Chain A
């Protein structure tokens, strides 16, 4: 398989659909800067998909950076650590990036003391001494979740269930979302540590092969990584054609290995596990440096922002601090998005804290913030053409609007990855994805009811 890919001269990409949004990587050449410590952080108790964690601190407790403040509950769950040292002010309901109030530990920052046992030096430790099981335990304790935005607990993805076989680890350095550059900078500046992280992931999974997929709009990162993996056994770097949503797991696996994850299945079903480059770095820090996931690289960007930047930010820092660090909120701001412009969530207030899955903060000017009035569908079939999952968005929207949920299920609405390509391309500006998402949640509800019966 590998040799076949090596022989292929053309850049690989996924086969179905896809769109080409303007790249707008404004902060691509900005080195990662350490953001200043905030005065107060609010750390959501649940920052991952799965069971929420239970808080183990209370008001007036003293904490250090790296202390556990919420314990994971169950297998699909994750620890939450304090990202700063200081006093717990309260456990309160704070609006987070999801748009709803969620329980958060609000901590007043005092100094910057780290918990014992955390190696804060910059020395690179290459030797991996832990066994696969110990690595999983470390990843679980460090509270590492998928940092591409889905925030699925990483230790779960490292435990291969009985009967499944994994032969390849894929490292997702695609960053197909416009504007975002945090993964790009990590690949350029932290490549050595990241590669050790990949080695650790490979050991935990027991695989011999790791493929790093990077889109071709980051030639410096591809060249740098290709240089670095020379002599590293089993690691390969691939430049990919620029096409959104290449960073989607299923799309990336197809682009690199030509394997199709079956409908409703997981990458595991085709022998693959996908991790983000940020996750690989976090795993390195957790395993080699004993450092839990309490800070991450966040791209702060936007056309009218004075200084777009890539900041190393403590989890729980309010978004407004980051925007301040990037030159302040521009006058013409209309919308602030957490994440990329295609799949990110619009924020309703700037007090929202940075969480483990925040890859970027995007400030959109007023004139681009509003939607264009919708027209009637002219059946141009553009949405069908661009759908990377081979669905018919125009039809799904119609069925969702008419509440025909059974037909919606038949039309594989649950395969939708909510990449937004259909809404992006629709010349009539129909809210396709909005209704599909609504339909999806109804269909999920119906399926849950069916199961519980």
Chain B
């Protein structure tokens, strides 16, 4: 009886010792050296693995930054300046501050503004609809309304409004990770500079058709008339392919162009109400704001 116990203990101990030696040798032989700073940098990152930086997950981003000599070209859109400063400190580099950004949906083609001309019946994704044809309305540039942008958002920062059929960005949640921008087949969503109080002035249209056609297919389309370009005191507005574009950096939020636009294609968001003269304009933007908040 005692010998059985003895033998058992003995054989198991020897077996254990041999295994330990083998494990040790294997672990030594296949040891992979990893820069300890990668872990440190990864810890400093938000850990959302959103891919907004263009790398597969935060780990991949950390590896790339540790490998690079200069990290000024890198940016974690989610963590923003604070995170990047922390990363720079770990890697012993300087980091310039970057302007925080926010996603902006540049289409206001609600069913009222942009009447439906056909009905799409297929998989409910913009990607497939965009390869099939120009969309359910006469406007072949605008929002397709199938919500690919909502699908890819990791931060619940964008949602589809059932009534207008358009996506709206919740500014507080948006991290400017760029996921929705790449998901949109029509390039409607743009990352623009985040202003104080989340105020925005932008051309809410991407239609490049000639004026007459653009106006026919959508009431609030940019018709490329150029009035805004003339009125802008800061040269912030450019006109290309029948479409106005407001440079978010040059724009000083004076709101002159908003009043000037004949189709109300330029929207102002987050401003206090104006005096009664411009009620119509204000109503327009206020409406869209209300919808956004719904």
- Interfacial residues, chain A to chain B (CB-CB below 8 A): 93, 95, 98-101, 348-349, 369-371, 431, 434-435, 437-438, 441
Contacts and interface: CB of A to CB of B under 8 A. Distances in A.
A359 B122 CA distance: 24
Contact of B133 (A100, A370, A371, A437): A100
Contact of B132 (A99, A349, A369): A99
User: Which secondary structure characterizes the binding site on chain B?
Assistant: loop
Nearest to B125: A438
Given A99-B134, A438-B131, A371 B121 contact: yes
B12 interface: no
A371 B118 CA distance: 15
Contact of B117 (A349, A371, A441): A349
Contacts of A435: 123, 128
A383 to B, nearest CB: 16
A348 B133 contact: yes
A435 B133 CA distance: 15
Contacts of A101: 134, 140, 209
B140 A369 contact: no
Contacts of B128: 431, 434-435, 437-438
A100 B140 contact: yes
Interface of B: 117-118, 121-123, 127-128, 131-134, 140, 209, 213
B131 A371 contact: no
18 contacts: A93-B213, A98-B133, A100-B134, A100-B140, A101-B140, A348-B117, A348-B118, A369-B121, A371-B122, A431-B122, A431-B123, A431-B128, A434-B123, A434-B128, A437-B128, A437-B131, A438-B127, A438-B131
Given A348-B118, A349-B117, 6 more contacts: A95-B134, A98-B133, A348-B134, A369-B121, A437-B128, A441-B131
A317 B127 CA distance: 31
A82 B160 CA distance: 47
Contacts of A349: 117-118
Contacts of A371: 121-122
A99 B127 contact: no
B133 A99 contact: yes
A242 B219 CA distance: 52
A404 to B, nearest CB: 13
Contacts of A369: 121
Contacts of A95: 134
A59 B134 CA distance: 27
A5 B157 CA distance: 66
A216 B97 CA distance: 74
A453 to B, nearest CB: 18
Given A99-B132, A438-B128, A370 B121 contact: yes
A431 B121 CA distance: 11
A196 B23 CA distance: 82
B111 to A, nearest CB: 16
B131 A93 contact: no
Nearest to A442: B127
A348 B188 CA distance: 22
Contacts of A100: 133-134, 140
Contacts of A98: 133
A357 to B, nearest CB: 17
Contacts of A99: 132-134
A369 B121 CA distance: 9
Contacts of B133: 98-100, 348
Contacts of A441: 131
Contacts of B132: 99
Contacts of A437: 128, 131
A100 B132 CA distance: 9
A435 B122 CA distance: 10
A90 to B, nearest CB: 11
A343 to B, nearest CB: 13
A438 B134 CA distance: 16
Nearest to A97: B133
A95 B133 CA distance: 10
